[in-house]
Structure 1
Amino acid sequence: MEPVGRDGLLRDYGLATRIDEAPLVNSPELSGEPLENLVELATRLCGMPYGVINVVTSDEQRQVAAVGIDAGICSRQDSMCSKVFLSGEATVVPDASIDPRFAANPFVTGEIAAVRFYASVPLETASGFVIGSLCVFSNSSASLSDEQQEMLEILARQAVQLLELQRRTLQLNSALEELRESNAKLAEFAGRVSHDLRSPLTTILGYVELGEDDVESDHPAAEYLQLIGASGNRMLAMLEDVLHYSRMGGGLQRQRVSLQEVASEVAGDLGLSYGADGVLDSEDLKLHVDHGQLRILLQNLVANAVNYQSPDRDLKVRISGISNYHGATVLVADNGKGIAPADRQRVLEPLVRLHREGDGQGSGLGLAICRRIVEAHGGELTLKETPGGGTTAVISFPG
């Protein structure tokens, strides 16, 4: 039985379903030249002058690749392939003019063409959906050897794989477009919510400060006001992190950037000493990245090192990098508490915190922001252990 919704399924493959309908996607690298090359191979292996890949819709036959003739469209009623493409097996006809299935067909009678030899193989997917057929034909009677028929069947399976590749590519493109739209909406929503919440929160914190000025330090209300202020400031920091997370990655403005200069800026942002004898030190490397987002990336990684430093040693953060024909790799190594191997992938997800004793406050978005920035640049962020203890962020940027 023919699947319900044939035209809808064909649209999933990027194949138009009406004579007046444009293809859904321009993918010549998938459905054009590769399929034509495959048809060319089929005609040569079978010794035939003509070959086509036909897609059969609910009411038409569309030739998506053709050799020896110009690709065209005809009604499904006139199609030879539509008579046999759902048979589940190859069809080989030495002389179509004496075959009762095709003798009156306009492709045989001369009304459209004068086909005599005809061979076709269904293009059936793993799910059982038959897209159409691969066929070769001639204006004179002929035959195929068993080996030639076997080769034609192999090529038909290859055609299905190419069309499946196109379907998956379309699905991926659609998902990426939905993701872009979702991210844009998220950024807009986060900005609006951040603004709407920050205004009253800032007002509350302002009154808390006024209250602290008016209340004696030994009054019970002083402690309450401190707790309210601390909670309010944490909430304000969380709003800023959510806003950063939603906005990071989009609209990159790549330029040649000095890693050393950005590291120096980060040290200034965080109030850290910089240089060979400082808390933060950096080698130099030229990167083709977005300057602002690199700064936020390094700032988050170094801030993490500060928040999770080891109580047993003075904090040190070393930023280094190497470049090769693949691109560049930046290493941000600290000597802090480190992250257990089982947690290194998990902490890169949004809102994940380890809640270890002695850890500083955080929203669980810092490393997620870093990952988002790196992936927007087409790179990858991984975490590993620093020799001697600590965490090293390994950031790969493509060339």
Structure 2
Amino acid sequence: MTEVRGQLSFTDDVSRDQELLEYGLDPGADSTLLPNASVMSALQNLVRLATELCGAPFGVVNIVSAEYQHQIGAWGVEPGVCSREDSMCAKVFLSRERTVVADASLDPRFADNPFVTGEIGNVRFYASVPLQTESGFVPGTLCVFSDNTKELRPEQVSMLEVLAKQVVELLELQHRTVQLDRTYAELKDSNAKLAGFAGRVSHDLRIPLTTILGYVELVEDDPDVEPNSTAAQYLDRIGSSGRRMLGMLEDVLSYSRVGGGIQPAPLSLRDVAEEVARDLGIEDHDIVEVQDLTVHADRGQLRTLLQNLVSNAMNYRSPERSLRVRVSGISNYHGSTVYVADNGKGINPEDRAKCLEPLVRLRREGDGPGSGLGLATCSSIAKAHGGELTLKETSGGGTTVAVSFPAGL
């Protein structure tokens, strides 16, 4: 359909209304509250300033939809909605040029307009500046007008253009707010689905794990098992790791239920890292060297992060040298940064960003098994704490992962 209404085709009209909705501006005729209240108040102040600078009694911010003109900020008049066909601004706003008319009744573009003829108003002086966003979209105009004829000085026109840019900044702020609200709604939906998934997985894993722990306890109580024997030590390790895994399942379930909420507290980096090393069967302190540091973080999340990073170091060790992992950190009033440095194969600079994406593996010869979720999980944990994760090369070869934790989260 190519029927033209004003300066837009039917197809453009549909696109225009969709774009206005992206800015939180309802193009419908019954819409009386378009932007949020704080934006409307700021718009009114800008319109007032525009009228005072131009010496005009009336001013409005007009948003032009496919069918209507909405006055979302006004001074000297009550904001309202009129047909787009009756709008003066709708005739010129897509030109992207300012329009200044001393007497609209003498201008062929406006002489028969109801705002000029007396049917709606008696506009004589009229000046408008299109509101153009960085993307090139023009939602409407900043307009000042009067019942009397008037001329504007060049500096007044320049100031009107400056104020129009400020109006655009407010609309962009509203645009970003709408995007954030939409993202937040999607995140809540995603977290709800995650909670259901985590609940099912937790239930399915808890049953066999509880069964294993039950048998471990039965064997530990068996009088035929010597307390200090190798078998007793193995049983103790299995029981310790199993109970910790059971606790981790509960942490995952709790984390998903609160929408990604965490419970940070001052933690000993050494205690958590040594716990992770034991879980992974690493007893040689020459393999995993740990520097102590107080980190303000969620214990379960920090343990998961370190376990993933140390596991990665084991999976991607270099065949040319014995594995070494150093867990260290620094802290100041901003917070702390934890470093996990290995001497493994390393990650090429061009692959580092890709490795932080879910389900991405480099699949190099000799690499150990993995799902491609380890670094992505660690990056998410860092973001949940308000920090970030970065990758760089270890001096002498390997990968150093730096994770920042802000203070007092």
Instruction: Compute the TM-score of the two structures, normalised by the length of structure 2.
Output: 0.70
In the other structure, the counterpart of 1:252 is 261
Q: Does 1:137 align with 2:137?
A: no
In the other structure, the counterpart of 1:18 is 28
In the other structure, the counterpart of 1:373 is 381
Q: Does 1:281 align with 2:290?
A: yes
Which deviates more, 176-185 or 315-324? Answer: 176-185
CA gap 1:272/1:37 in 2 versus in 1, 3 angstroms: farther
Deviation at 1:48, TM superposition (A): 2.9
2: CA distance, partners of 1:7 / 1:311: 61
In the other structure, the counterpart of 2:278 is 268
Deviation at 1:300, TM superposition (A): 1.0
Structure 2, unmatched stretches of 5+, are: 1-6, 209-247
Letter in 2 for 1:72: P
Deviation at 1:385, TM superposition (A): 1.9
Q: Does 1:334 align with 2:334?
A: no
Deviation at 1:171, TM superposition (A): 3.5
Contact 2:100/2:126 (CA < 8 Å) preserved in 1?
yes
Letter in 2 for 1:267: A
Contact 1:94/1:141 (CA < 8 Å) preserved in 2?
yes
Contact 2:35/2:72 (CA < 8 Å) preserved in 1?
no
Deviation at 1:395, TM superposition (A): 0.8
2: CA distance, partners of 1:259 / 1:197: 29
1: CA distance, partners of 2:329 / 2:78: 54
CA gap 1:244/1:387 in 2 versus in 1, 3 angstroms: farther
1: CA distance, partners of 2:141 / 2:341: 58
Contact 2:89/2:141 (CA < 8 Å) preserved in 1?
yes
CA gap 1:374/1:129 in 2 versus in 1, 3 angstroms: closer
C-alpha RMSD over aligned residues: 4.1
Which deviates more, 163-172 or 330-339? Answer: 163-172
1: CA distance, partners of 2:353 / 2:106: 68
Q: Does 1:72 align with 2:82?
A: no
CA gap 1:78/1:181 in 2 versus in 1, 3 angstroms: same
In the other structure, the counterpart of 1:208 is none
Deviation at 1:53, TM superposition (A): 1.0
2: CA distance, partners of 1:127 / 1:255: 41
Deviation at 1:268, TM superposition (A): 3.4
Letter in 2 for 1:167: H
1:111-260 equivalences under 5 Å are 115-124=123-132, 129-160=137-168, 162-182=170-190, 184-185=192-193, 188-189=196-197, 192=200, 250-260=259-269
Deviation at 1:143, TM superposition (A): 0.6
CA distances 1:61-101 after superposition (whole Å, capped 9, x unpaired): 322223x4365113226544345445554332324466676
1: CA distance, partners of 2:92 / 2:140: 10
CA distances 1:183-220 after superposition (whole Å, capped 9, x unpaired): 543564576579779999xxxxxxxxxxxxxxxxxxxx
CA gap 1:311/1:109 in 2 versus in 1, 3 angstroms: closer
CA gap 1:388/1:103 in 2 versus in 1, 3 angstroms: closer
In the other structure, the counterpart of 1:300 is 308
1: CA distance, partners of 2:77 / 2:274: 64
2: CA distance, partners of 1:338 / 1:273: 24
Instruction: Compute the TM-score of the two structures, normalised by the length of structure 1.
Output: 0.71
CA gap 1:22/1:297 in 2 versus in 1, 3 angstroms: farther
2: CA distance, partners of 1:22 / 1:263: 58
Deviation at 1:180, TM superposition (A): 4.6
1: CA distance, partners of 2:21 / 2:291: 53
Q: SS of the counterpart of 1:344?
A: helix
Letter in 1 for 2:24: G
In the other structure, the counterpart of 2:13 is 4
CA distances 1:132-162 after superposition (whole Å, capped 9, x unpaired): 2111123433211244334434543553454
1:41-120 equivalences under 5 Å are 41-66=49-74, 68-69=75-76, 71-76=78-83, 79-86=87-94, 89-96=97-104, 115-120=123-128
Which deviates more, 102-111 or 74-83? Answer: 102-111
Q: In the comparison of the two structures, how many residue pairs are matched?
A: 356
Q: SS of the counterpart of 1:4?
A: helix
Percent identity, aligned pairs only, is 59
Letter in 1 for 2:292: E
2: CA distance, partners of 1:104 / 1:89: 22
Q: SS of the counterpart of 1:345?
A: helix
